[in-house]
Amino acid sequence: MPVPKHTSDIFEILSKGQFICSNSCKDTTRKLYNIIDENFDDLYDYFKAINLVLEKGDEYYMFTRLENKTDLERKIEAAFKWIDILDFFKTFDHSFGAGYRFTPSDILIKLSVDVDLKNKLEGLKKYAGGKEKHSEILEKVLDQLRRDNFIDLENEISNSYKTLSSFHYLERLILSINIPESVQNEILK
Amino acid sequence: MKTFSSIQQLLGTLNREQKLLSELFEKRKILSFNYDYALELVDFDADKISALIDYSVVRQNGNNVELDDLYLQFFEQVMEVNEEINVSYINEHIQNIKQGIIYYLQENNETRKYSYLRQVKQALRKIGTIAFRNVVDLNRNIDNTFKNEPNYKIKKTKLEHLDEKRHTIYALINQTDHLVSGEEEQTFFKVASDEELNRIIIVLKLQLNECRHNLIDIQKQIIEYLNRIKHQSGVIEKLRQIKYLKDQFELKSKTDIVALLAENTAVVFEPNPTYPLNVPLDQLQTDDDARDVILKVRKRIKTNIKSNMPLMGSIGGEYLETNIEEEIQINLDEVKNGFIAGSNNLFDFICNYDFGKEVTFDECVTIYCQMISQFDTLFKITDVYNSKQDVEFAMVYPK
């Protein structure tokens, strides 16, 4: 089965649980996205043979497995963390989503005028490994998002970040959680 | 029609008549601005107005004057004042055209008939520009609303209103198109048709067509924006609910998140994999970098166990003594020199030669053969044979 020569690079990124996004800041990643786009069927079959499913999302690619390997506890923990982080950023700006550009200082400025946002950031302290300062907590959170490939540092000088299209995955995850109607009504009260 | 020869001249003229022009601009939505009023604004100097008309800054329409479309558009665009999308404006023009057509058909006086025709032409000419401008404004307004309106509900309602406006503009464009195609007022367009009217209609149709294309695109844009708002507010609403449940520690019990995640097999959830591979021994032994790596690892892994370096035993005295072994080599060259100096035959000479060591008869034979094979040019080999101890040899003399 002919596969493109970048297959090992693609595997390298995706097997770490990262995403290949069409709007990545790295030229090479964007190139990989196009390569997958062109050879999707071949690569799909190729990775299928080693029990990995190449999945196409909204402008991103990721791996899923044929059978479950991670324990549930860990997944719930991760999902909870994402819910908290997502909630924080959506409070910062309702339109925070794929393609959104921001700098940590934008958020820090808003902290001083938005108590809700500040409380939420303090709620994120548990993911920041013992950091106390707002800027440090934020930095940690951003660092985690960057490592998971949801955002990318676009400009090192101005320290501006760009939200990648893999952010759609988080939103999709949120939307796919079902809340029974009775519970919804309860919340509204 | 004159044209301005330089920017200075253009700006000078506009500056001179700024009173009139600004007044005309302010009253641009009123169809008729009386010539007499205009005259008052230029200190009753009719030449000034006619000069403006000559340069087509101002257009005279019967007894009315108005700003030329070119300048009107320019002013509006530069000052960005046409934010209000006035759909009724187009409608009014359509009514005007229809009225003009009726008057034209009913009027018997040629001159007056002609002025009605002019009015219709004027309106037709404007309608395209207005429609086009409306489309541009609509586009800008939609964009502005989507990007700048902070309130989601208002944003959504505003976009929906703009969509209605788009719908109206579209209908009006169709109406205009229908009108100028000569399906409604067949008589007028047959009777009054002249070169100018035809040209105006063609230009108008082209403009309307472009508007229509733009509107289709705007429609797409509105739908996309509305969808995005819906998606975003959907995500936010959902997120709020989920966050609320999570903070109440009820998320697991009240939603299907556990089942959902149990099915989710995304690699994202997995810890970063490491692939421990054994180091090839060959590489460890031969690679230069490998030594550094080993030392680095060695530094990190500090054990308290002191390993005793095994010492070598002392070297025995007999290894340090120097042994001399002598071996006597036979120098054939020396032997040859001695032989040539004498007169004895070679074999006897070798047998009697003092080599410095005991030489057996067999060795003598070997030396004899070696000498002959090496120095045969220097020897005289005769046919006379002699024998000694059962070995027959040729008698060889020096030359």
A54-73 tens-digit pLDDT? 989 888 999 888 877 778 88
User: Which residue among B152, B232, B242 places its CB closest to the CB of A177?
Assistant: B242
Sign of CA dihedral A159, A163, A164, A166: positive
Q: Closest to A78 (Cβ–Cβ): which among B233, B236, B269?
A: B269
**Predicted local confidence at residue A162, as pLDDT:** 92
Amino acid at A150: F
Residues of A in contact with B153 (CB under 8 A): none
Phi, psi (deg, nearest 5) at residue B395: -80, 125
CA–CA gap between residue B390 and residue B153 (Å, rounded)? 134
For residue A91, the one-letter residue type is T
Q: How far is CA B28 from the centre of its chain?
A: 46
pLDDT at B83 over 70: no
Mean pLDDT of chain A: 87
3-state secondary structure chain B: CCCCCCHHHHHHHHHHCHHHHHHHHHCCCCCCCEHHHHHHHCCCCHHHHHHHHHCCCEEEECCEEEECHHHHHHHHHHHCCCCCCCHHHHHHHHHHHHHHHHHHHHCCCHHHHHHHHHHHHHHHHHHHHHHHHHHHHHHHHHHHHHHHCCCHHHHHHHHHHHHHHHHHHHHHHHHHHHHHCCCCCHHHHHHCCCHHHHHHHHHHHHHHHHHHHHHHHHHHHHHHHHHHHHHHHHHHHHHHHHHHHHHCCCHHHHCCHHHHHHHCCEHHHCCCCCCCCCCCHHHHHHCHHHHHHHHHHHHHCCCCCCCCCCCCCCCCHHHHCCCCCCCCCCCHHHHHHHHHHCCCCHHHHHHHCCCCCCCCHHHHHHHHHHHHHHHCCCEEEEEEEEEECCEEEEEEEEC
pLDDT above 70: residue B53: yes
When pLDDT is cut at 50, 70 and 90, the band that residue B77 belongs to is: low
Confidence tier at A164 by pLDDT (50, 70, 90): very high
Shortest Cα–Cα distance, B82 to chain A (Å): 29
Residue B273, min C-alpha distance to chain A (Å): 6
Note the pLDDT of residue B271. 75
Tell me the per-residue pLDDT of B270-302, one tens digit each, with 9 for 90 and over.
777 777 777 778 877 787 788 888 888 888 877
The contacts of residue B160 (CB under 8 Å, 6+ apart) are: B226
The pLDDT tens digits for B304-350 are 777 777 888 888 887 888 878 877 788 888 888 888 888 888 888 88
Sign of CA dihedral B96, B99, B101, B103: negative
Output the six-digit token pair for B82: 């046409």
User: Residues A119, A153: contact at Cβ < 8 Å?
Assistant: no
Per-residue pLDDT band for B85 (boundaries 50, 70, 90) equals low
CB B152 within 8 A of CB A94: yes
The whole-number pLDDT of residue A161 equals: 92
Contact indicator for A43, A54 with CB cutoff of 8 Å: yes
At B86, the pLDDT band (50, 70, 90 cuts) reads low
Chain B interface, mutation test: which of A167, A187, A189, most B Cβ atoms within 10 Å? A187
Q: For chain A, say whether B252 makes contact (Cβ under 8 Å).
A: yes
The answer on pLDDT for B245 being more than 60 is yes
When pLDDT is cut at 50, 70 and 90, the band that residue B87 belongs to is low
Does the pLDDT value for residue B187 go beyond 60?
Answer: yes
State the amino acid at position A61 in one-letter form: Y
**pLDDT bucket at B123, cuts 50 / 70 / 90:** confident
pLDDT on residue B191: 78
Q: Determine the Cα angle at B330 with ends B329 and B334, to 5°.
A: 130
3-state helix, strand, coil in chain A (%, to 5): 55, 15, 35
Whether A32 shows a pLDDT value over 70: the answer reads: yes
- pLDDT for the residue numbered A33: 92
SS3 of A138, please? helix
pLDDT score for A142: 92
Query: Which pLDDT score is estimated for A73?
Result: 85
Residue B14 scores a pLDDT above 80:
yes
Is the pLDDT confidence value at B215 over 80? yes
Q: What are the pLDDT digits (tens) for A167-185?
A: 999 888 888 888 888 877 7
Instruction: Please indicate if any CB of chain A lies within 8 Å of the CB of B154.
Output: no
Residue of B280 and A108 predicted with greater confidence? A108
pLDDT band at B82 (very low <50, low <70, confident <90, very high): low
Interatomic CA distance for residues B261 and A79, integer angstroms? 8
User: Can you give the pLDDT at residue B228?
Assistant: 82
- pLDDT computed for residue A18 by the predictor: 87
A61 pairs with which residues across the strands? A20, A56
CB A47 within 8 A of CB A61: no
Mean pLDDT of all residues in A150-158:
90
B39 in Cβ contact with B46 (< 8 Å):
yes
Residues B179-185, mean pLDDT to the nearest whole number? 76
Across the interface, whether the CB atoms of A62 and B267 are under 8 A apart is answered: yes
> Binning pLDDT at 50, 70 and 90, where does residue A12 land?
confident
Chain A residues closer than 8 Å to B246 by CB: 80, 83-84
